[in-house]
Structure 1
């Protein structure tokens, strides 16, 4: 695929605007049009929703989303140097691209979409990607304001998101993601597809919210998983004793074995644990 629109090639855009990728901003620009278009197709259909993109940089994925028929794209960009390049895309697609300057960690994307159906699609900056995901899947209200997340992470982080009990990567992130969403890795992206090339392989993950997650106190689940996986080599009766001196009894009441370790407990087990430990103490 050589062109998706009549705008200049991304390398020319980067050169014209002096957009050297900055490590401090977690930037690695994806320039391969085949890959940006593949990500856009993975999030389809896009015509009946607002797409929120985080960290568009020079706009490679932004252009792919618009070319794929996104009705409206809201791009949140922290790096002011990228704004002129994004303005050129906005001019090419009148009324379909809104650029918001700011830090995605501090901006409530739900308010930007004004009640419209939302899909979040992004090549997330490596330095804030995990925190953004946690923010989106631990929103107090459920179902969330978004109908899907199609996101790029380091492969190691992607494996943690989709990990199951017994997997080496299974931990707090996998429990939270699996509790509220159905998550899967769609495909990998080689370091050579980026400028500059990162040292690791990346992967695109898609998460779709579960309509009815198992009933549970979010705060309790976060605290129980943090304690359990914070000392993952210890048995539950030891790692959870920091939350309640009666940990062993509460673990048994949840239908679990006190001598089990965190990586052996499935999501339903952690939900049962959180509900037992809540009991007015973790709420």
Structure 2
């Protein structure tokens, strides 16, 4: 495997190492931005190696009593999943969001930036200074849902993440996509995983499933059945599956774990918590996160 790579995509910084693929953009004073980018590149050099060192424990189920990890990124992962550990979840459910959070923290250390984001394959960490706002692109929407939403500093949202059976990671559910807004990228990532798992129709004959281990021998999901295909479903069945996921999203929101969630399956959608997700597109802006 090649070592950490860094190069420019016009005004954005691209960092890549193994499975980690980051797009970073900072806004503000040019000197501050240059220094911030340098800090991000420096921090990125060791982040994957640190996670690999603790990978066996990161693949084991979390509990309500957080465990001690050495690396800051692993600590972020554990902190995000521990409050959700009444359901099966491992810290790997928050890895993409936690990496984004860690690099954003490096970007911001000692710097004064107006806005910044770190996009890790659609799971993003976001910084907004006082009075600032940012527009996020949400793909796969429709059905009167916005494909762009604007968040403001006062909203307290620092992360957006998406999970579903069509995504990069395995899912126990059948959601095409679940996008979550939360305080951090790690929190959004972990919550999106469990909400997407809950969008489900257990034992339905139209749904194909195989043990995760058959697709990836080292998967943290082991022998749990992950979704590989979703066949035709009736509108009533789609509604039942979405409402199951919505109940989990609403519970997370009531307990302060997320700010909002949008759930999508086979042409239907549900929204928990934010009218912004259901509003018509009104404010043009920069695409940041692609769900």
TM-score, reference length from structure 2 = 0.26
Higher helix share: 1
Bigger CA radius of gyration: 1
Give the structure, 1 or 2, with the largest relative contact order (CA under 8 Å, sep 6 or more).
Answer: 2
